[in-house]
Amino acid sequence: MEFGILAALILSYISYGIYICFKNYFAERHNNIINLHKANCLSTYFTFIDSADDNTRQAILQYATQTIYSHQPTGYSGRGSDGTSNPNPIVEIVKNVAAPNAGE
């Protein structure tokens, strides 16, 4: 009787540890993919910004900011989000700053 309880307790600790390891792995993979995507966005932003006029620069800046600071689903996070979230304050600030300069 005591052996069965002890075996069940040890098995539950091991299975919980494995669950935590998998959860951490998927969180790390999610963050890695998101950070690589943001780095790629920044590198292409600097490439495009050098060869564009002012209106195109503003559009590229707005899109790059939205891409970098918005939530990006990867499939590794188990939340099932479709990527639509509340507007990010940083994206709104860039829109407001870019809008008055677009008419100049």
The string of pLDDT tens digits covering residues 46-86 is 887 777 788 888 888 888 888 888 777 776 666 555 544 54
Element holding 10 (H helix, E strand):
helix 2-49
Closest CA to 61 of 90, 103, 36: 90
**Quick one: pLDDT at residue 94?**
66
The residue extents of the domains of the chain are 2-102
Q: Given pLDDT bands bounded at 50, 70 and 90, which one contains residue 99?
A: low
Torsion region of 75: left, alpha or beta (phi above 0 gives left; psi -120 to 50 gives alpha): left
